[in-house]
Amino acid sequence: MDGQENEQRNTGDNGAPATGRTRRWTIRPQRTGRPDRSSRLRRFGMALAVLAVALAGVVIGTYAGGHVSTDIGPFRAQLKLAPAVAGSTTVDIPPLGALQLDSHDGPTHLTVELGSLDQRRTEAIINDPASINRASQSAVEDVRTGVMRLGVRTLGCAVLITLLLAALVFRNVRRTAWAGGLAVAVAGGSLGLSAATLRPQAIEEPRYEGLLVNAPAIVGDARRIANDYSKYAEQLRLLVGNVSKLYTTVSALPVYAPAPGTTRVLHVSDMHLNPTGWSLIQTVVEQFDIDVVIDTGDITDWGSEPEASFVGSIAQLKKPYVYIRGNHDSGKTAAAVARQPNAIVLDSTTTTVAGLTIAGIGDPRFTPDKNTSPAGSGLTKQVAERVIGAGEQLATTVRNSPQKVNIALVHDPASAGPLSGTCPLVLAGHLHQRQVSKLPQVPGQQPTQLMVEGSTGGAGLRGLEGEKPTPLSMSVLYFDQQKLLQAYDDITVGGTGQSQVNLERHVIKEPAKGEQVPVTPTPTLGPATPTPTR
């Protein structure tokens, strides 16, 4: 027995069991319960691929389907949606230009382009002016309906394009479904964020581009712009109605209708003998129905007697023209301005025009040539004493005025410091660069806002020294019945050889406190402070 058992074991050990069959042994790896590294990388790469396809599908779908045609009043309009870094809206009104609105957040940009007029409705408007009111009444609902259609169409196209793209790339139902779901989340989330952050009041402060003369006629008065949706809707109706008039009449453009009691002031500065500035001033005076023009100096370059003829265009404006002398203007220049029938020259004096009490002082320097004028090379201690001293002199004039002064005028902003607390607004020039700030507030005194105008003449020949011509700048200031600054329009025209026109409106929420802008310290009679001299 034992021998047989040993024989059988030996036989089994040699791979030949008693049954005569061969047994095969397999060694299997032990499972750890976690996928190996290469598997995780493949899954991560596939997830990124699905996400990339979804994003590509959303972008392609938005460009391909993110546009609809709709009627807005008498117009056939195109609404377009496009991906963007920051949300905004552009309203194109050919050939007048465009309005840029900071209307919402989110990665979407909406373009509303007013296209051709419907012939039947246009004829109805021409024959019956009341049709404008009826057409404009439906403008808000037209826009709302068009935007909703645009959103649905964009979402549908984005998802469809994503599904088709994913099917072609992956050829896998599960991955295609994941890509479609991501497309719904991305496109729907972007549209939802835009809708949730909609700011109807953005129409309150648009940025205009295009033909300058039409901008105020289209938008209307600054203080009639709305903060709530109902008034926003009213402004949209006004916009459509006014644009309809512009397109359907051959008579003069609609007159800019100001709010009752509004006083409009045009602030110009640093003309520097540029004749183009006069034609621009004339246009703005007429189209904005300006009440007063204020010039903060440097109307000439050298202050010579032949240059005095340049100021003759003041009389053609036929509006009060309040002027102070700049450092490029001589006494002869100031005298030539004073001879104009509508001009008022201030030199530490006050005047009341259109209900506004204005005080002003000329620049104490006459430095037409900085190379030969040591006083014009910077704000040295000697210059500081004169420039800041002029501000102190004007501050005394303001305090002694029997009437409350609404606006103080200096040429160099360095003169503005002593005027803090004496009046709500100080206007200046000299720097050839527009700046808005507040003066350091004197305890117990009213806040004072400082507005520095750019060069209305594009800095003259100096404007051609840089790589780009200096733009022509001016501002329209709107004062309420209390003679506080309530809004202003910054107007910029491309420099010599350029024709781009921009108008940007700013509305001051609390006129009594002034605009919410940084406080800018002004030079004092301490250590010398280097500043640019123009």
Q: Provide the mean pLDDT of the chain.
A: 78
pLDDT band at 119 (very low <50, low <70, confident <90, very high): low
pLDDT band at 448 (very low <50, low <70, confident <90, very high): very high
Query: Does residue 350 surpass a pLDDT of 80?
Result: yes
Higher-confidence residue of 356 and 305: namely 356
Query: Does residue 509 surpass a pLDDT of 50?
Result: yes
Name residue 352's beta-bridge partners.
Answer: 357
Q: Identify the CA nearest to 450 among candidates 465, 460, 440, 464.
A: 440
Query: Does residue 5 surpass a pLDDT of 80?
Result: no
Higher-confidence residue of 512 and 138: namely 512
pLDDT at position 279: 80
Chain-centre distance of CA 9, in angstroms? 97
- Peptide linkage before 258 cis (omega within 30 of 0): no
pLDDT at position 212: 41
pLDDT band at 26 (very low <50, low <70, confident <90, very high): low
CB atoms within 10 A of CB 204: 22
Amino acid at 47: A
77 with 112: CB under 8 angstroms? yes
Q: What are the structure tokens assigned to 8, written together?
A: 């059988």
Region 451-466 average pLDDT: 70
Q: What are the structure tokens assigned to 324, written together?
A: 């102070």
pLDDT at position 250: 30
Query: Does residue 385 surpass a pLDDT of 60?
Result: yes
Count CA atoms closer than 13 A to 441's CA, side-chain side. 13
User: Cα separations (Å) of 103 from 40, 66, 143, 202?
Assistant: 44, 18, 14, 5
Region 411-429 average pLDDT: 96
DSSP codes joined into one string, 306-358: GGGGGGGGHHHH-S-EEE---TT--HHHHHHHHTSTTEEE-SSEEEEETTEEE
pLDDT at position 477: 95
DSSP 8-state code for residue 208? E
Higher-confidence residue of 142 and 33: namely 142
pLDDT tens column, 297-322: 999 988 888 888 889 999 999 999 99
Comparing 7-16, 167-176, 456-465, 482-491, the range with the smallest average pLDDT is 7-16
Q: Could you give the maximum distance between any two Cα atoms of the chain, in Å?
A: 146
Name residue 321's beta-bridge partners.
Answer: 293, 343
Highest mean pLDDT among 109-123, 241-255, 371-385, 398-412: 398-412
pLDDT at position 15: 47
Highest mean pLDDT among 8-22, 203-217, 223-237, 331-345: 331-345
pLDDT at position 69: 87
CA dist 402 and 482 (Å) reads 17
pLDDT tens column, 231-270: 444 544 554 554 444 444 333 333 334 567 899 999 999 9
pLDDT tens column, 169-193: 989 999 999 999 999 999 999 888 8
Measured in Å, how far apart are the chain's first and last C-alpha atoms? 125
Comparing 47-61, 208-222, 424-438, the range with the smallest average pLDDT is 208-222
With H, G, I as helix, E, B as strand and everything else as coil, classify residue 486. Answer: strand
pLDDT tens column, 469-485: 678 899 999 999 899 99
